Structure 1
Amino acid sequence: MTFVVALRELWEMWSNARISMTSYADSQNVHPATMSRYFNGKTLPPDEIVIDLVDSIRRVTELPIPGEPGRLLNLLNAAQDAQPSNWGALKQWKAREHRQRLRADMADTRVIELTEEISQLRLGFAAGSAPDNDAELAIVRGLLAEERLRVAELEREIAAWRTRATEPASTGIVEVGGAHYWQRYVQSRAERGWTTEAISAVDSATSRVLDQLAEPTASEPSPRRGTVLDHVGGASPDVIGLLAKAIDRGYRLVIVLAGTLNEVRRQVQRAIDEDLVSLPDTPGIVRLTSTDLDYRRLSQDLHGLEFEKRHPELPLHAPSNLHSSSTRIMVVKKNMSILRRLRMELLAMRTPLTEIPALILDLAPDDGTGPKTTQITQALTQALPRGQFVSFSSTTLNLPMQDEHEHFVVASPRPREYVGASDVFGTGEETSGTDENISGERTYVRRFARDDDDLSLRTAMDMFVLTGAVKVYRSLGARHHGLLVATSARVAEQAAMRDRLQMLWQSVDYHEIAGLARLQALFDSDVAPVSMSCLVGAIPGSFDELRPALEIALEQLGDDLVTRDTTPVPDKPWHVTVIGPGQVRLAPRDGTTVLYIDGMAPAQSAPAALRPWFGLRPGYTDLLRLYVPDGDDPNGLYANIAHFWRADSELHSELVRYGTGN
């Protein structure tokens, strides 16, 4: 059967639905005469028109169309090859793939060089030369981000061209079940100063989850779904570690659902791109999304979803094929139209979905998505018979009740140097491996009177400066350091708060006698006593001993301190950020040390503001502070915050003891 005959048969189904060619052409933004030439065989349509037509017929007629649009695309490609103008198209595709691979290899090499350069600069920080290396490190990080984006784009193009060729591409062969990506991840953690104990904790947590999933090479599909209660949230070390192990195990399609906000998706994409880099002598990773390129309809690049097989007669999940097949990774928003489109394109693949070992990670199961989005997420999972679905949540209270489709619940043990609800509010979660002195509201919480909020805001800023100076004193380098101010949902009030903070910053007198006296009083009454009792890191014997580090910290902070958005700025890791209830998920997590809450709705919004403040705080767990309005009202702001997180901590503790898996 020719392409034109097959297309006309499909069009007859569309015509029976009483939809005219003119109206359909208008819906596709194509001239009716052009659409007519497509269907009478005078002009070959683009792939996008074919996919759209099949999709539209399915929706209008509610009838399945077996084999489509894959069959039509095969016929279309054959017709394109048969045209004189496309003579030698396959050779051209292979030549282009070769050129793109050379360009990608060069970009990969540049990524390795820049990563090594950053490691050398970090060694300089450890040696005490942070002030000299700071600007250079920011420049190199920017170059590294650009090169990684370049690699992602090139890998997408290579995937599209590789799978259009009739012969399998030559790829590296690795043993399925090895630990190539996991070992690279361990190396990257060690380069960032992680201890062996911290890496072992991630190893143990990710293995517990991986053990619950089906074997990718199993002869029969065995879909599994479950929940992981993860302290950190977002693209945490446990998430990245699980991805690395899953690729090593043989999962070849990875879909990461990153919430409903564009910036959250970008943050997750950045974290994955930074820690999961294609390795030499392996089939590599094909990134179907990038930091600035969300998942969209692939149209001509639909082939980027197709999988190469070294042995076409065998299924993809056969070990000999998984050895040489690249892993496709995409990070997408939990958006109904995007997920529906993705599902349709998966169904259109020529590679049978029953052969593809897939892993779907939902990093925002408690996000405010509606029932329709939940349904399409379930439909997406069901479309992949070998799909394993794992949701990660940083809180237990918003999780759906476990049903018969949930195979396991795994509660990750709390990492060392993690500060969470049980530390602040003193509830029942076990604190194995941490200093028992680092707990309680007396350590972390500072209440203030509502009628004196200007003074309290200045005190929070003073604490931000002091804790930054202690970080410098401890040689923690140019890590992120942040003051987070959570306030009203109203844009005007957020802008007013930013103006207040900027004016306050301009008026503080840290180089004058009054300002230094204020800092010394806060150091002597708060910072020094808490840090000395916690024994986390070095603490100056006096404020005068801290003065040199304070000067470096003030220079690091600069004049323009208050940021106007939540996007991290590579060359300004120290910042003050103002957020409302709807921006909590966007708030910077790395380095957030001081949290100031006021003006938020008590029951609904205020507890969530602590999420970016909780987290891994290596070397400075004793420096965290929470400023919150005082009050004895049992239904007031602080009471609701404490009640919420105590309940969450108690439930998490129970799941750590009795986590399920069957």
Structure 2
Amino acid sequence: MSNQSVIKFAQELLVSEDPGTISPAMISAKIDQVLAFQPAWREGFDLDAAIAELVRRFSVWVGTDSTIRNDEGHRPWLEASRKSDWRYWQRYREYLEARMSLAAVDGLDRSTDMILGMLEDPLRDGAWDRRGLVVGHVQSGKTGNYTGLICKAADAGYKIIIVLAGLHNNLRSQTQMRLDEGFLGYETRPIADDIREIGVGLVDRDPSIRPNYVTNRTNNGDFSTARANTLGITPEQRPWLFVVKKNKTVLERLLGWVRHHVADAQDENGRKIVKRLPLLLIDDEADHASVDTGEQIFDEDGNPDPEHQPTAINSLTRKIVHTFSRSAYVGYTATPFANIFIHERGETKEEGPDLFPSAFIVNLAAPSSYVGPAQIFGLRSTAGRTPGLPLYREVDDHMSEDGRNGWMPHTHRNGYAPRSDRETGIPATLEAAIDSFLIACAVRRLRGQGDAHSSMLVHVTRFTSVQKIVHQKVEEYILSLRQRLGRQIGHEDAEARLGQLWLADFVPTSQASAESFGTLAGDAVLPAWPDVLEAIRLIIADIDVRMINGTAKDALDYADQTGPGLKVIAIGGDKLSRGLTLEGLCVSYFLRTSKMYDTLMQMGRWFGYRPGYIDLCRLYTTGELAGWFGHIADAAEELREEFDLMAASGATPREYGLKVQSHPVLLVTSRLKMRSAKSFMLSFSGQVSETITLFTDETVLKRNLDAATDLVRRLGEGEDNPERRRGDGIQRWQGRLWNNVAATDVIAFLNSYRTHPEAYKVNSVLLAEFITKMNLVNELTSWTVAVVGGGRGVSHPLAEGLDVAMLRRSSDGVEGRYSIGRLLSPRDEALDLDKDEWDAAMAITTSGWKPDPARSRSVESPSDPSGPAIRRVRGEGMDGQGGHPERGLLLIYLLDPAEAGRNVPAGLPPVVAFGISFPASESGTKVEYKVNNVAWMQEYGGAD
């Protein structure tokens, strides 16, 4: 505790200093001042660890949040004077300042002010209902954000606060513990006599402001029948907190209690309602279980069927909100796809409106200390993927090549017994992952982080029976190591293996992390190997191997742990896949096979904050899953980029919802959530389609080369090596460009070209059909076509007088395909814009750009217009005037297969790749994408 107190007060002394002048020497001097006031804190104080923590905190910067809102019927109310005596928030802020950088706390203060201000003033009379959605990066601190929102809402006058916290007891219990610390200030126990103050309760101990609680932190602490029968709420000053599971029985109990014990009026239909107490309902993981997956019918005027019966959790959540005449609903999620598919006009008599975020959607930016998908897997670019932190290690020894045999095959069922021919009974990669965890724990101890928790996650199967065997084998492996290293009997092989891992992996990884990701890695220094080995001998006795199967005790002893931190290897499955936080997660071993964007994203427990030990973290997973996480990072980035542009232009949540619903990338979210059994209706308007997954089959490549050659011959002469004025300079392209090309020529090319079945966003036949349908409404009728050369590549004669310099792009190395990062650059996508249009797209890009370190480490604004801005200007014109929705852009490239690298055979013909940039359109034209259930399940695995 003394370390934390010294850091808090030293941080306050440093706030007034110029951030550019803060150095380790200055920090040390401030710490000396604090210790002069409190000499007792010197005992056990770790000066180096405190200096390192403060250096990290003062190097943190926080990105800018982005908001789309609809203020219809809303009255602005939140002013600085209203916050002057907000004690719940003040004590939470002080609690956070001991644990976080002031920049991060200020960022949370700003974002919670913004969210609360878009809700209604709880003191406002009359009926009101505000619904919003907060989108944060995975494991980026959403719980901390809504805890801050709850504190401020209680200060402002919200009286009933309900938090819907996951589907399982362990997540509900963990959320209750977090709110005990951050809002209530004391431990919630079944018997309330023994008040044990914790968290904010130690900052401000005044019992007169202590909020009331209904649910408690125990495994069975959810809202119960016994509690419902004895609980009565009187209109008093202090707010009431309920933390409940998304469970039909629990929510029915809660709804019944609200109607019978809290309701104080009736509406015109005789329905019991609550008028005197305003409600704030926080829906954690709002895309999970809360979305109505039944299909609601609408008549030709767009009016919903009032007798529609929604799915249970959705129905009960809406009924609870609908029972309060003054209510605010805020969903929190990292994967908003399903929420945006909620119909904005969905409504029934009993449930009231559906949970569409009609008032606002907020995209939270992350602090620069956050490590997310873009930091680990990079983002796709024309030069391949941008490099990520060097923490990923490929797992390729868990099953046979056909996926049917081995230790953990794809197709295993409940009751399967994992088999390995190794003495330990587990694959070599899992042994290496466990060894890495031991090294990480040891180094953390030597860096002064021994009192912090450290965790390892093993997520390889959803079946409890299989998890038990994995648990047994991992425990046996740890026991064997404990005996050898602890007793120094037969220890030579184990020590040699650990030493080799240290030299081959940890030393170069820490060095690379510091060189390329200095902001995240800091100046963390690796200790000497003999010290690490000695620390491993000391800590191996503390390693605890656990199964996580849904009870609170499994994962949640952290809260009650004092002294040295827990060192836990958690073996789990679906119970670990949503929301549950494993404190100090260092190593993950992950083999889950689902490819749903939202399901996979939520499983990324390894994203988050790793101060002072990011260089020690490891993610062991398959090459295929690493590729899918790359897709996720790209999809999330595309949606956030579109969101920022719409926020800058004043769009409403409904307009954003319509935009996202046509996004081809969302083919891979849960089909139930997309309310479609057999097919999807897709629009490509305002999108870019580019072939980044290509064939390595010679016959197909020749066919595609013929398709490009035929098109170029038909088009004849064009503009060679075009030049365009851009800003203050001139941009030049190699190749040839044609204007005013008929749509029939582009359609003929697409019908002749064969796209790879794994090119999820590009299907040439579907694109041809879409253009044909758009022609019926006089759109996409006149095309710009360009063959773009690549500079340094070998030339290939595509047609008479047209030698094309082939692009040099390396493949991702997966056998049977040639897969690259990005094909199009924004520079190429703007090729058909004139100077004024380019300037307009640049202005839109700059106005919508928000720095967010979870997406890019750069704080520099863009130098080229973004793809969405280019497509908007092309379709809608400048300031909404003079758009050209008839104008499409087709870009054709030749890739040099000789430069592709591994798994692309030698001697192949040039690989033709294309990109199409579609202008924005208001026509609403869509095409049908058909897929059968069997094919879907084979490709993407089960939904969550």
**Matched residues in 2 for 1:237 and 1:412: separation?**
12
Is 1:539 the equivalent of 2:524? yes
Equivalence for 2:216? 290
Distance apart, 1:274 and its partner CA: 1.2
**Matched residues in 2 for 1:122 and 1:480: separation?**
22
Is 1:526 the equivalent of 2:509? yes
Of 396, 410, 423, which aligns to 2:375? 423
Alpha carbons of 1:337 and 1:449: their partners in 2 closer, same or farther (altered >3 Å)? Answer: closer
Equivalence for 1:491? 464
Name the SS of the counterpart of 2:85 in structure 1.
coil
Alpha carbons of 1:295 and 1:581: their partners in 2 closer, same or farther (altered >3 Å)? Answer: closer
Distance apart, 1:200 and its partner CA: 0.9
Of 429, 444, 449, which aligns to 2:391? 444
Of 270, 275, 279, which aligns to 1:358? 279
Of 474, 499, 507, which aligns to 1:517? 499
Measured against aligned partners, the alpha-carbon deviations of 1:92-146 in whole angstroms (never above 9, x if no partner) come to: xxxxxxxxxxxxxxxxxxxx99x9999999986652799xxxxxxxxxxxxxxxx
Amino acid corresponding to residue 520 of structure 1 in structure 2: W
Amino acid corresponding to residue 496 of structure 1 in structure 2: I
Confirm or deny: 8 A CA contact 2:177 2:217 kept in the other structure: yes
**Matched residues in 2 for 1:652 and 1:122: separation?**
46
Of 293, 308, 317, which aligns to 1:377? 317
**Matched residues in 1 for 2:620 and 2:360: separation?**
38
**Matched residues in 2 for 1:421 and 1:362: separation?**
24
Amino acid corresponding to residue 462 of structure 1 in structure 2: D
**Matched residues in 2 for 1:445 and 1:198: separation?**
27
Q: Which runs of 5+ in 1 are unaligned?
A: 1-111, 131-173, 309-324, 430-437, 631-635
Alpha carbons of 1:269 and 1:606: their partners in 2 closer, same or farther (altered >3 Å)? Answer: closer
Confirm or deny: 8 A CA contact 1:425 1:440 kept in the other structure: yes
Distance apart, 1:586 and its partner CA: 6.5
Alpha carbons of 1:560 and 1:476: their partners in 2 closer, same or farther (altered >3 Å)? Answer: closer
Is 1:223 the equivalent of 2:125? no
**Matched residues in 2 for 1:487 and 1:386: separation?**
46
Equivalence for 2:256? 344
Measured against aligned partners, the alpha-carbon deviations of 1:322-377 in whole angstroms (never above 9, x if no partner) come to: xxx11111101112232222222222226552121210000021223561220111
Alpha carbons of 1:358 and 1:116: their partners in 2 closer, same or farther (altered >3 Å)? Answer: farther
Equivalence for 1:335? 247
**Matched residues in 2 for 1:128 and 1:503: separation?**
38
**Matched residues in 1 for 2:335 and 2:464: separation?**
28
Distance apart, 1:251 and its partner CA: 0.9
Distance apart, 1:291 and its partner CA: 0.7
Confirm or deny: 8 A CA contact 2:321 2:329 kept in the other structure: yes
Equivalence for 2:46? 127
Is 1:396 the equivalent of 2:336? yes
Distance apart, 1:562 and its partner CA: 1.3
Identity rate of aligned residues, in percent? 24
Alpha carbons of 1:368 and 1:451: their partners in 2 closer, same or farther (altered >3 Å)? Answer: same
Is 1:615 the equivalent of 2:605? no
Moved more, 177-186 or 292-301: 292-301
Counting only pairs closer than 5 Å after superposition, residues 15-414 of structure 1 correspond to structure 2 as: 126-127=45-46, 178-192=85-99, 194-231=100-137, 232=139, 236-276=143-183, 277=185, 279=204, 280=206, 282-292=208-218, 293-297=221-225, 298-303=227-232, 305-308=233-236, 325-348=237-260, 349=262, 351=264, 353-368=274-289, 371-401=311-341, 403-404=344-345, 406-414=358-366
**Matched residues in 2 for 1:268 and 1:502: separation?**
29
Measured against aligned partners, the alpha-carbon deviations of 1:161-220 in whole angstroms (never above 9, x if no partner) come to: xxxxxxxxxxxxx9886321111111111223x111111111122112111110111123
Equivalence for 2:55? none
Is 1:596 the equivalent of 2:524? no
**Matched residues in 2 for 1:456 and 1:340: separation?**
47
Distance apart, 1:534 and its partner CA: 2.6
Confirm or deny: 8 A CA contact 1:568 1:588 kept in the other structure: no
Equivalence for 1:4? none
Amino acid corresponding to residue 378 of structure 1 in structure 2: R
Under a length normalisation based on structure 2, what TM-score does the superposition of the two structures give?
0.46
Instruction: Choose between structure 1 and 2 for higher RCO, CA contacts under 8 A separated by at least 6 residues.
Output: 1
Is 1:578 the equivalent of 2:571? yes
**Matched residues in 2 for 1:461 and 1:225: separation?**
45
Q: Which runs of 5+ in 2 are unaligned?
A: 9-37, 50-80, 186-200, 266-273, 293-310, 346-355, 400-425, 486-490, 549-553, 654-944
**Matched residues in 2 for 1:607 and 1:340: separation?**
31
**Matched residues in 2 for 1:124 and 1:533: separation?**
37
Distance apart, 1:243 and its partner CA: 0.9
Confirm or deny: 8 A CA contact 1:198 1:416 kept in the other structure: no
Alpha carbons of 1:622 and 1:651: their partners in 2 closer, same or farther (altered >3 Å)? Answer: farther
**Matched residues in 1 for 2:244 and 2:141: separation?**
13
**Matched residues in 2 for 1:330 and 1:396: separation?**
24
**Matched residues in 1 for 2:122 and 2:496: separation?**
66
Equivalence for 2:26? none
Name the SS of the counterpart of 2:365 in structure 1.
coil
Is 1:480 the equivalent of 2:453? yes
Measured against aligned partners, the alpha-carbon deviations of 1:380-425 in whole angstroms (never above 9, x if no partner) come to: 1011111100000022333343625511101111123111122122
Measured against aligned partners, the alpha-carbon deviations of 1:293-332 in whole angstroms (never above 9, x if no partner) come to: 21123355231x2223xxxxxxxxxxxxxxxx11111101
Confirm or deny: 8 A CA contact 2:174 2:580 kept in the other structure: no
Name the SS of the counterpart of 2:328 in structure 1.
strand
Alpha carbons of 1:606 and 1:265: their partners in 2 closer, same or farther (altered >3 Å)? Answer: closer
Alpha carbons of 1:290 and 1:451: their partners in 2 closer, same or farther (altered >3 Å)? Answer: closer
Alpha carbons of 1:350 and 1:210: their partners in 2 closer, same or farther (altered >3 Å)? Answer: closer
Distance apart, 1:564 and its partner CA: 2.4
**Matched residues in 2 for 1:475 and 1:182: separation?**
31
Amino acid corresponding to residue 556 of structure 1 in structure 2: I
Distance apart, 1:487 and its partner CA: 0.6
**Matched residues in 1 for 2:43 and 2:597: separation?**
45
**Matched residues in 2 for 1:447 and 1:296: separation?**
46
Amino acid corresponding to residue 252 of structure 2 in structure 1: R
Confirm or deny: 8 A CA contact 1:480 1:574 kept in the other structure: yes
**Matched residues in 1 for 2:638 and 2:610: separation?**
22
Under a length normalisation based on structure 1, what TM-score does the superposition of the two structures give?
0.64
Equivalence for 1:569? 557
Name the SS of the counterpart of 2:321 in structure 1.
helix
Distance apart, 1:606 and its partner CA: 7.4
Measured against aligned partners, the alpha-carbon deviations of 1:568-626 in whole angstroms (never above 9, x if no partner) come to: 33445211111123432364432112111126445589724643211122333343321
**Matched residues in 1 for 2:281 and 2:596: separation?**
32
Amino acid corresponding to residue 410 of structure 1 in structure 2: V
Measured against aligned partners, the alpha-carbon deviations of 1:216-236 in whole angstroms (never above 9, x if no partner) come to: 111233210010002237862
Instruction: Choose between structure 1 and 2: higher strand proportion.
Output: 2
Amino acid corresponding to residue 240 of structure 1 in structure 2: T
Of 462, 469, 481, which aligns to 2:442? 469
Instruction: Choose between structure 1 and 2: higher helix proportion.
Output: 1
**Matched residues in 1 for 2:428 and 2:228: separation?**
58
